[in-house]
């Protein structure tokens, strides 16, 4: 698509590079510390297991208003790494004869009348390999609180969806499904005759002495629970009901090192046997049961999984051949960045990144009122187009860079007097020659000011941006959040009375008041002005 023709009237989620380059522990420390200093990460722990030796490093602050660094006992939401625990729970019940991987789900929902026979015939194995054909989330998933989206999805909601879901066909191709693993966890809990948190504790956590970990949330008052974090703001915790098997577990690095050890050492409870069983590649699939599978530079198999919730990102990997494992837990929504960092520990080396990006830093004009700003962060070149998020560029040649995720290639002209005077910008086959222009035309820096939390309540509500598209304005404690239909909630920061900016994208929100002082409209400033009228009566 030609960038000149783009209209960015929707807030864009962060786009991050997933191109792996080999890293060593020293590089890991530098990159995590840099992410903390940039404000991309609030707190983080990196831990490694090497043939029984465990090392743990902490970065940042456990909570924004404290100075304590996280440690091996600091708790984080681990998100979708929970799915590996769910598969292991099922395997333990299979070993006991209570479940069978090839049983259909209808045998566990005998009271339901399935509208579709093919839905009832979905097997536990297909759930665990994301090949069931179920959608990522159920069609009746409608959170009452978008900042805690899974909290109010109940077993009744799950049953109602399963009984009425009647697709034309179900694909057996890979299709990542939180619904599928939530369903798998519910089936396992029912077979164990207890709820999911209790079953996970009895079958997995307690046998491994993972005493800090849980699939419920009494830990929120724990002083060593890291606060969720996103783009400069504290984020509320997520809680789960019927879909707990998809992402409910809270854990620490020390506990997860015990979990990694279970891949290598036998135990009296059968957890090691269940771990090994779930790590077997499934016939016809490129993955094991819940585990993703890759190879390191020596050809050894690496089992891994990542995770992300509203304020946390995580990555865990195990190399059974070498009895090694590693883990990253972060208070951050830089999900792709955390995954890239974790995978870089076993990736094939890639060409070194740019050392001196200074000739390329500046603003280049792609079209009328459309600019591309290049900046440098710790030796890495980033680009940011008007109204969009910043993206990292990988060096491919002497003056050539790319961002593969968006099919972007940038070639800088030979520097003159220390600066490149123009670029050739290519995206999806479209080419633009863009000259260097004055810096004030590009993405500008914004300074945050404090706004009384009582004033923030004036802005709460829904605003209609277009037919079927709304902007929800939410307040949690003293933080304002903006959420466009179908996108995640993003923290917004005051730059003036009634005007806010977002850090994750180049966008501002301006609130308009009527003669009585009530907020009745907002303007989204993102590559233009886009008005949205407040829906319903003012509070």
Does 243 lie in the same domain as 198? yes
Closest CA to 385 of 414, 353, 425: 425
Give first-to-last CA distance, the chain, whole Å.
42
From 311, 336, 369, the end of a domain falls on 311
235 in a domain, yes or no? yes
Residues 379 and 474 in one domain: no
Q: Would you say residue 215 lies in a domain?
A: yes
Q: Of 253, 286, 311, which marks where a domain is finished? A: 311
User: Is 49 part of a structural domain of the chain?
Assistant: no
Quick one: how far is CA 364 from the chain centroid? 31
Report residue 118 as tokens. 């093919």
What does each C-alpha distance from 318 to 21, 66, 321, 406, 442 come to in angstroms?
A: 18, 33, 9, 30, 44
Structure tokens at 64: 């924004």
Phi then psi dihedrals of residue 443, to 5 deg: -65, 130
Residues 283 and 363 in one domain: no
Do 466 and 437 fall into the same domain?
no
> What 3-state DSSP class applies to 90?
helix
Q: What single DSSP character describes residue 405?
A: G
State the Cα torsion 35-37-43-46 to the nearest 10°.
50
CA nearest to 262, candidates 102, 101, 127, 91? 91
Instruction: Give the number of domains in the chain.
Output: 3
Q: Are residues 422 and 468 in the same domain?
A: no
Does residue 85 lie within any of the structural domains?
A: yes
349 CA to centre of own chain: 25
What pLDDT does 499 receive?
95
> Which alpha helices (H) appear in 57-141, and where do they start and end?
82-95, 117-120, 124-128
DSSP bridge pairs for 432: 425
Q: Which residues are CB-contacts of 427 (< 8 A; sequence separation ≥ 6)?
A: 1, 3, 406, 407, 408, 409
Q: Are 305 and 293 in contact (CB under 8 A)?
A: no
In a domain? residue 219? yes
pLDDT of res. 444? 72
Residue with tokens 């100075």: 67
Same domain, yes or no, for 260 and 366?
no
| Domain CATH code at residue 406 | 2.40.128.50
pLDDT at 6: 29
Token pair 């015990």 is found at 258
Residue 226, C-beta contacts closer than 8 angstroms, at least 6 positions apart: 42, 43, 62, 63, 70, 74, 75, 76, 312, 329, 331
The domain boundary residue, chosen from 387, 406, 441: 441
CA distance 365 to 300: 47
Bridge-based pairing of strands 529-534 and 233-235 is unpaired
Quickly count helices (H) and strands (E) in the chain: 11, 27
Same domain? 296 vs 254: yes
Parent domain of 503: 453-534
Q: What is the pLDDT of residue 20?
A: 40
Query: Is 39 a member of any domain?
Result: no
pLDDT at 424: 96
Pair of tokens at residue 198: 């209790």
Pairing of strands 479-484, 391-392: unpaired
Sign of the torsion formed by the C-alpha atoms of 309, 237, 338 and 472: positive
Number of other residues whose CB lies within 10 A of the CB of residue 356: 9
CA atoms within 13 A on the CB side of 384: 26
What is d(CA 349, CA 314) in angstroms, rounded to the nearest whole number?
A: 22
What is the CATH number for 182? 3.40.710.10
Give yes or no: residues 367 and 484 share one domain: no
Cβ atoms within 10 A of the Cβ of 530, count? 18
Element (H, E) at 158: helix 155-164
Q: Residue 19 in contact with residue 408, Cβ under 8 Å?
A: no
The verdict on residue 20 lying in a domain is no
- Give the DSSP H/E element, type plus range, for residue 531: strand 529-534
Domain shared by 410 and 505, yes or no:
no
Kindly state the tokens that stand for 418. 């220390």
Q: What is the pLDDT along the chain (539 residues), one digit of tens a residue?
A: 222 222 222 232 222 333 344 455 567 888 899 889 888 899 999 999 999 999 999 999 999 888 899 999 999 999 999 999 999 999 999 999 999 999 999 999 989 999 999 999 999 999 999 999 999 999 999 888 889 999 999 999 999 999 999 999 998 899 999 999 999 999 999 999 999 999 999 999 999 999 999 998 655 578 899 999 988 889 999 999 999 999 999 999 999 999 999 999 988 889 999 999 999 999 989 899 999 999 888 889 999 999 999 999 999 999 999 999 999 999 998 888 888 889 888 765 554 555 688 899 999 999 887 889 998 876 778 888 876 777 888 888 889 998 876 778 999 999 998 999 999 999 877 899 999 998 777 667 788 898 888 899 999 999 999 888 899 999 988 899 999 887 778 899 999 999 999 887 778 999 999 999 999 999 998 877 899 999 985 54
Same domain, 305 and 214: yes
> Is 52 within a domain?
no
pLDDT given at position 8 = 25
14, 33 contact by CB (below 8 A)? no
Place of tokens 């000011």: 449
Give yes or no: residues 235 and 172 share one domain. yes
Considering the domain architecture, whether residues 433 and 477 belong to the same structural domain is answered as: no
Q: Are 153 and 179 in contact (CB under 8 A)?
A: no
């Amino acid at each position: 698509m030609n960038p000149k023709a783009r209209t960015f009237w929707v807030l864009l989620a962060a786009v991050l590079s997933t191109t792996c380059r080999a890293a060593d522990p020293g590089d890991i420390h530098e990159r995590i510390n840099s992410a903390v200093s940039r404000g991309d990460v609030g707190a983080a722990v990196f831990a490694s297991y090497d043939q029984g030796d465990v090392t743990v490093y902490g970065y940042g602050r456990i909570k924004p208003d404290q100075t304590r660094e996280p440690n091996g006992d600091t708790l984080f939401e681990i998100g979708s790494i929970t799915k590996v625990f769910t598969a292991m729970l099922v395997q333990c019940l299979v070993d006991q004869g209570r479940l069978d991987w090839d049983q259909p789900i209808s045998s566990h929902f005998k009271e339901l009348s399935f509208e579709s026979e093919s839905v009832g015939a979905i097997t536990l194995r297909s759930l665990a390999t994301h090949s069931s054909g179920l959608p990522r989330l159920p069609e009746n998933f409608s959170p009452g609180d978008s900042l805690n989206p899974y909290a109010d999805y109940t077993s009744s909601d799950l049953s109602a969806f399963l009984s009425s879901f009647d697709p034309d066909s179900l694909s057996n191709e890979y299709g990542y499904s939180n619904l599928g693993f939530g369903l798998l966890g519910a089936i396992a809990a029912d077979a164990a005759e207890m709820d999911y948190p209790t079953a996970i504790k009895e079958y997995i956590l307690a046998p491994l002495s993972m005493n800090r970990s849980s699939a419920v949330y009494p830990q929120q008052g724990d002083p060593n629970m890291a606060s969720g974090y996103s783009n400069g703001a504290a984020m509320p915790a997520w809680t789960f009901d019927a879909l707990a098997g998809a992402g409910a577990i809270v854990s620490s690095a020390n506990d997860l090192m015990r979990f990694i050890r279970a891949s290598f050492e036998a135990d009296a409870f059968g957890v090691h046997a269940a771990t090994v069983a779930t790590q077997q590649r499934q016939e016809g699939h490129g993955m094991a049961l819940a585990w993703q599978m890759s190879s390191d530079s020596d050809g050894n198999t690496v089992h891994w999984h990542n995770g992300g919730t509203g304020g946390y990102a995580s990555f865990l990997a195990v190399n059974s051949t070498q009895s090694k494992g590693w883990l990253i837990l972060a208070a951050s929504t830089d999900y792709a960045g955390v995954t890239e960092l974790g995978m870089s520990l076993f990736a094939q080396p890639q060409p070194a990144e740019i050392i001196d990006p200074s000739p390329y830093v500046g603003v280049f004009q792609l079209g009328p009122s459309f600019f591309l700003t290049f900046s440098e962060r710790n030796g890495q070149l980033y680009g940011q187009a008007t109204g969009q998020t910043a993206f990292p560029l990988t060096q491919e040649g002497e003056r050539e860079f790319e961002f593969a995720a968006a099919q972007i290639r940038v070639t800088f002209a030979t520097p003159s007097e220390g600066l490149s005077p123009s670029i050739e910008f290519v995206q999806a086959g479209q080419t633009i020659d863009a000259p260097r222009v004055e810096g004030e035309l590009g993405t500008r820096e914004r300074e945050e000011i404090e706004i009384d939390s009582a004033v923030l309540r004036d802005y709460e509500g829904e605003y209609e941006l277009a037919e079927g598209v709304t902007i929800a304005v939410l307040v949690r404690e003293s933080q304002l959040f903006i959420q466009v239909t179908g996108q995640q909630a993003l923290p917004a920061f005051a730059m003036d009375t009634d005007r806010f900016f977002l850090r994750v994208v180049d966008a501002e929100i301006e609130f308009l008041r009527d003669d009585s002082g009530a907020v009745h409209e907002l303007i989204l400033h993102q590559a233009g002005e886009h008005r949205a009228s407040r829906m319903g009566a003012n509070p």
